[in-house]
């Protein structure tokens, strides 16, 4: 695995958000990356730098996260991971496995999008406080129907494989993303998660196993791992969780 390549990740500096799926892949692989917007402006970082790089790219990203490596600028989380997977040795070599990995990753992205829409059902341009009644309505169907439907789908996918890995027989970037997704949903919707957890034995084991991978455990305990917060993709608003 080559680590003399300079990988630059661009993402909002104060949230885990979608950038975290990419950070976890680098951290687990032990491959250095520069989290550019988390550097100060004097170090060549910051949000303004990120937005300028984004606008100037020949293949302009619509939104962060994006990756810059050599001449390439690559956006869309699942696309970034499909690019990085082979380089970080986090996906099997064969095409069916890679297509399956991408399929699962895109489904994780769909679920992340729906989780986001629970707190921003009307507009990303408005505050949560400006769309609270709609958010409650949206999250009711999310915690009762959509979250269980997605998570049971991932549980079946795991059970149909080797029971431990979503793709093939080794840890892939999809397993890392599934860890992130489950941890994030447990943070945002603790009651809904607690009700579902007994029905998700394989997923729960996967989450716990991934958390113990040495490089990942070191990262999760470090200051590089930002805490969840209510500016991010997965927010904990008790009124949007399952009621008792």
Ligand X SMILES: N[C@@H](CCC(=O)N[C@@H](CS)C(=O)NCC(=O)O)C(=O)O
| 162-to-104, 155, 159, 176, 202 alpha-carbon distances in Å | 16, 12, 7, 16, 10
CB of residue 168 vs ligand X: minimum separation in angstroms? 23
Q: How far is the CB of 116 from ligand X (least distance, A)?
A: 8
Which strands form 66-69's sheet, in the order they lie side by side?
34-35, 8-10, 66-69, 72-75
CB of 75 to ligand X, least distance (A): 6
Q: How far is the CB of 16 from ligand X (least distance, A)?
A: 9
Binding site for ligand X (CB under 6 A): 17-18, 63-65, 76-77, 109, 124, 233
For the chain, helix, strand, coil in percent to 5 are 60, 5, 35
Choice between 109 and 192, CB closer to ligand X: 109
Min dist. Cβ of residue 147 to ligand X (A): 18
Phi, psi dihedral angles at 16 (to 5 degrees): -70, -60
Looking at the Cβ atoms of 12 and 196, the one nearer to ligand X is: 12
Task: State the distance between the two ends of the chain, measured CA to CA, in whole angstroms.
Answer: 49
- What does the block give as tokens for 13? 């500096």
The smaller minimum CB distance to ligand X, of residues 21 and 142, is found at: 21
Nearer to ligand X, 50 or 182 (CB): 50
CA distances from 117 to 139, 164, 242 (A): 8, 30, 16
- Output 77 or 180, the one with its CB closest to ligand X: 77
């Amino acid at each position: 695995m080559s680590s003399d390549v300079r990988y630059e990740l661009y993402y909002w500096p104060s949230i885990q958000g979608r950038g975290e799926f990419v950070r976890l892949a680098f951290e687990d692989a032990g491959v250095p990356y520069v989290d550019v917007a988390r550097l100060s402006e004097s170090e060549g970082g910051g949000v303004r730098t990120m937005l300028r790089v984004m606008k100037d790219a020949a293949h302009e990203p619509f939104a962060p996260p994006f990756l810059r490596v050599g001449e390439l600028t690559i956006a869309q989380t699942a696309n970034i991971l499909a690019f990085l997977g082979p380089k970080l040795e986090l996906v099997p070599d064969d095409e069916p496995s890679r297509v399956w990995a991408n399929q699962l990753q895109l489904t994780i992205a769909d679920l992340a999008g729906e989780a986001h829409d629970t707190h921003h059902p009307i507009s990303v341009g408005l505050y949560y406080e400006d769309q609270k009644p709609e958010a409650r309505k949206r999250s009711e169907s999310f915690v009762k129907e959509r979250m269980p439907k997605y998570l049971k789908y991932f549980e079946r996918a795991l059970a149909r494989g080797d029971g431990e890995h979503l793709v093939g027989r080794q840890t892939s970037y999809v397993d890392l993303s599934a860890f992130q997704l489950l941890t994030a949903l447990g943070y945002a919707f603790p009651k809904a998660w607690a009700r579902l957890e007994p029905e998700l034995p394989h997923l729960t084991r996967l989450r716990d196993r991934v958390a113990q991978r040495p490089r990942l455990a070191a990262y999760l305990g470090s200051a590089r791992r930002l805490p969840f917060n209510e500016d991010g993709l997965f927010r904990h608003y008790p009124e949007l969780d399952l009621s008792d």
